[in-house]
């Protein structure tokens, strides 16, 4: 019987799975499952949610897993299964793995706190207290991460916190459900809970948190085999070894051949995650978010950064100012119009902080800006300025890594927008004044998850072998145009001036008070 791998990418609003033939290395099928409840904002169970709450229902993940595993695996021999997940998206659970959301469906703090949910006040308090555990993270944690969300749950819902026996990333929780084993991932633990091999998890940050966590395992480790119940529900046969979970932007690395130092890798989706792979211990470049050794990939340092808004920023504009009722056609028309606008020709500059700023300010209270509007401003020029703002934000992250002494030889961009929006990628190449490689592979993040499954089940010797066997074989290269690059240099100077303006940021904070 032919053996297969399955990889599942759990995104913000849906999960996407792929089935790969173990012998040929080719994708054979894929499946997408939208979460029933989507992203829960505004209200839960008829009760209004505070501003900024972004929750998910853990049962939706189980439904997605069952649908995808059944569709792709029923009656087939599955050697390995890998999953990746948006992060940080933790939830409270009982010691047997029962999600507290199942017991308290109308309690906000019992649900998954999606990565979009920011416990900024708790993060600020943690950062003010300080501690050695913050050093690899530039002296601060984000309101998006596990520590801040645990602190929020403990302070806002103490009775629920008392009932919580495990506080766990959704990716780790799902692996637990599939295997019956609580096998936490070093990837989540290091980057989202500030775990280190030397010191373990931070002590004294949230009362009782240490007892609600568990030691992690490296990526590529087997968590266990699919349980008999899951085999019955999905019809899967074979070893069905499940790998420990990975962060989605990290899980994609082997699928795009990013398994060596000297690479700047971006996953451009709803938000953008950037990884700087390094073979040398040099400390976190000032301004980036975090660094860990061997957590994203074995034997490599990985410096992490990101932009809180990316594709969703452009989606907001095309929905607010539609050119067509069909969303794909709407995007195509906006892109075609923006392509006719030379860089800077309408005198506009924008800030990409529509969901706050991650690097270098780590401030979710900041907001977007378009400067230079006049009675002659064209809609397509505004849209182009938003694209340019995203590219300027990416360049700021790249420049921060370079200033920290990290050598970057190649730039690789992947995920949905790189395939659907070539205009954006070309503007990015012009803004960075570097070639940008876009690996030609369908469903790259889900394929990356499948490669984690291949490593875990022993089908390949490691991630480099998995990348060679199952990853992208070709790539498109977007090369910068010297004339446009010079114009983008001038625009980028203005972007940096705006981003450094403290009075402007104070105004953004003050304006938050007017929001309901």
As a whole number of Å, the CA-based R_g of the chain is 22
- Write the CA distances from 334 to 244, 306, 421, 425, 512, integer angstroms: 41, 25, 11, 15, 30
Mind listing the pLDDT tens digit for each residue in 404-417?
999 999 999 998 89
Percent of the chain with pLDDT over 70: 100
Assign domain 3-250 to a CATH class: alpha beta
Tell me, what's the pLDDT at 415?
Answer: 85
How do strand 77-85 and strand 3-10 relate by DSSP bridges?
Answer: parallel
Residue 364's pLDDT band (cuts 50, 70, 90):
confident
Residue 250's pLDDT band (cuts 50, 70, 90):
very high
Percent of the chain with pLDDT over 90: 93
β partners of residue 44: 47
Q: If you average pLDDT over residues 459-479, what whole number do you get?
A: 97
Kindly report the number of other CB atoms within 10 A of residue 4's CB atom.
Answer: 25
Separation CA 192–CA 153 (nearest Å): 16
Tell me, what's the pLDDT at 33?
Answer: 98
Separation CA 220–CA 216 (nearest Å): 12
β partners of residue 132: none
Residue 363's pLDDT band (cuts 50, 70, 90):
confident
Mind listing the pLDDT tens digit for each residue in 29-45?
999 999 999 999 999 99
Task: Render the burial of 158-168: b for 16+ CB within 10 Å, e for the rest.
Answer: eebbeebbbbb
Q: Which of 236, 229, 217 is nearest to 179 (CA)?
A: 229
For domain 257-516, the CATH superfamily is ATPase, nucleotide binding domain (3.30.420.40)
Q: Which of 468, 411, 408, 472 is nearest to 437 (CA)?
A: 411
Q: Are 36 and 13 in contact (CB under 8 A)?
A: no
Separation CA 250–CA 259 (nearest Å): 11
Task: Enumerate the CATH 3.30.420.40 domain ranges in the chain, comma separated.
Answer: 3-250, 257-516
Residue 52's pLDDT band (cuts 50, 70, 90):
confident
pLDDT at 454 over 90: yes
β partners of residue 436: 411, 478
Total residues found in the chain within this entry: 516
pLDDT at 359 over 90: no
Task: Give, as one character, the DSSP assignment of residue 164.
Answer: -
The maximal CA–CA distance of the chain, rounded, in angstroms, is 68
Residue 262's pLDDT band (cuts 50, 70, 90):
very high
Separation CA 415–CA 163 (nearest Å): 39
Q: Which of 201, 211, 220, 178 is nearest to 95 (CA)?
A: 211
Q: If you average pLDDT over residues 45-67, what whole number do you get?
A: 95
Separation CA 353–CA 368 (nearest Å): 4
pLDDT at 240 over 90: yes
Tell me, what's the pLDDT at 130?
Answer: 95
β partners of residue 465: none
Tell me, what's the pLDDT at 443?
Answer: 96
Mind listing the pLDDT tens digit for each residue in 373-385?
999 999 999 999 9
- What's the mean per-residue pLDDT of the chain? 96
Give the up-direction half-sphere exposure of residue 367: CA atoms within 13 A in the CB hemisphere: 13
CB-based burial label for 493 (10 Å; 0-12, 13-18, 19+): exposed
Tell me, what's the pLDDT at 16?
Answer: 98
Q: If you average pLDDT over residues 192-216, what whole number do you get?
A: 96
Q: Which of 195, 196, 117 is nearest to 153 (CA)?
A: 117
Tell me, what's the pLDDT at 56?
Answer: 98
Q: Which of 131, 129, 97 is nearest to 212 (CA)?
A: 97
Tell me, what's the pLDDT at 512?
Answer: 87
Tell me, what's the pLDDT at 270?
Answer: 86
Q: Are 290 and 138 in contact (CB under 8 A)?
A: yes
β partners of residue 276: 264, 303
Separation CA 216–CA 210 (nearest Å): 13
Q: Following DSSP, what letter does each residue of 385-417 receive, concatenated?
A: HHHHHHHHHHHHHHHHHHHTT----EEEEESHH
pLDDT at 181 over 90: yes
Helices marked H in 246-310: 248-251
Tell me, what's the pLDDT at 416?
Answer: 83
Q: Are 222 and 176 in contact (CB under 8 A)?
A: no
β partners of residue 77: 3, 237
- Write the CA distances from 16 to 11, 20, 64, integer angstroms: 8, 13, 9
Mind listing the pLDDT tens digit for each residue in 90-129?
999 999 999 999 999 999 999 999 998 989 899 999 999 9
Torsion of CA 235, 240, 245, 251, to 10 degrees: -100
pLDDT at 51 over 90: no
Tell me, what's the pLDDT at 1?
Answer: 77
Separation CA 243–CA 448 (nearest Å): 12
Q: Are 235 and 164 in contact (CB under 8 A)?
A: no
Residue 513's pLDDT band (cuts 50, 70, 90):
confident
> What totals of helices (H) and strands (E) does the chain contain, helices first?
18, 24
- Write the CA distances from 183 to 176, 202, 225, 377, 426, integer angstroms: 7, 19, 12, 55, 41
Separation CA 52–CA 388 (nearest Å): 26
């Amino acid at each position: 019987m032919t053996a297969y791998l399955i990889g599942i990418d759990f995104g913000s609003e849906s999960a996407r799975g792929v089935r790969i033939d173990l012998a040929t290395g080719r994708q054979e099928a894929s499946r997408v499952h939208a979460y029933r409840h989507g992203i829960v904002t505004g209200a839960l169970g008829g009760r209004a949610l505070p501003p900024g709450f972004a929750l998910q229902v853990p049962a939706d993940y189980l439904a997605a897993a069952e649908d995808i595993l059944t569709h792709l695996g029923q009656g087939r021999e599955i050697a390995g299964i890998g999953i990746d997940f948006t992060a940080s998206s933790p939830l409270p659970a009982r010691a047997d793995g029962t999600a507290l959301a199942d017991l308290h469906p109308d309690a906000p703090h019992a649900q998954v706190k999606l990565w979009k949910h920011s416990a900024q006040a708790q993060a600020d308090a943690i950062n003010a207290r300080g501690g050695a555990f913050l050093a690899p993270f530039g002296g601060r944690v984000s309101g998006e991460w596990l520590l801040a969300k645990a602190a929020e749950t403990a302070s806002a819902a103490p009775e629920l916190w008392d009932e919580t026996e495990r506080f766990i990333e959704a990716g780790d929780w799902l692996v637990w459900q599939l295997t019956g084993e609580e096998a936490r991932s070093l990837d989540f633990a290091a980057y989202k809970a500030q775990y280190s091999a030397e010191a373990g998890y931070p002590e004294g940050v949230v009362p009782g948190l240490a007892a609600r966590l568990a030691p992690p395992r490296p990526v590529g480790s087997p968590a266990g085999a699919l349980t008999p119940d899951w085999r019955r529900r999905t019809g899967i046969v074979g070893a069905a070894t499940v790998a420990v979970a990975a962060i989605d932007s990290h899980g994609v690395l082997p699928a795009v051949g990013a398994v060596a130092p000297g690479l700047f890798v971006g996953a451009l989706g709803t938000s953008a995650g950037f990884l700087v792979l390094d073979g040398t211990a040099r400390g976190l470049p000032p301004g980036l978010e975090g660094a860990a050794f061997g957590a994203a990939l074995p034997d490599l340092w990985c410096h992490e950064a990101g932009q809180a808004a990316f594709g969703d920023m452009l989606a907001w504009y095309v929905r607010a100012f539609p050119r067509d009722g069909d969303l794909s056609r709407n995007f195509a028309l906006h892109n075609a119009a923006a392509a006719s606008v030379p860089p800077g020709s309408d005198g506009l500059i924008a800030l990409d902080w529509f969901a706050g700023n991650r690097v270098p300010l780590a401030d979710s209270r900041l907001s977007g800006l378009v400067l230079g509007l006049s009675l002659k401003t064209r809609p397509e020029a505004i849209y182009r300025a938003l694209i340019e703002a995203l590219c300027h934000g990416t360049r700021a992250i790249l420049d921060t890594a370079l200033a920290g002494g990290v050598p970057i030889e190649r730039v690789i961009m992947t995920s949905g927008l790189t395939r659907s929006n070539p205009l954006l990628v070309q503007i990015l190449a012009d803004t960075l004044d570097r070639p940008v490689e876009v690996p030609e592979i369908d469903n790259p993040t889900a394929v990356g998850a499948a490669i984690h499954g291949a490593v875990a089940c022993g089908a390949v010797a490691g991630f480099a072998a998995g990348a060679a066997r199952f990853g992208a074989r070709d790539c498109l290269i977007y090369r910068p145009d010297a004339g446009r690059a010079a114009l983008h240099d001038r625009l980028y100077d203005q972007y940096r001036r705006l981003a450094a303006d403290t009075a402007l940021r104070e105004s953004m904070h003050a304006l938050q008070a007017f929001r309901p």
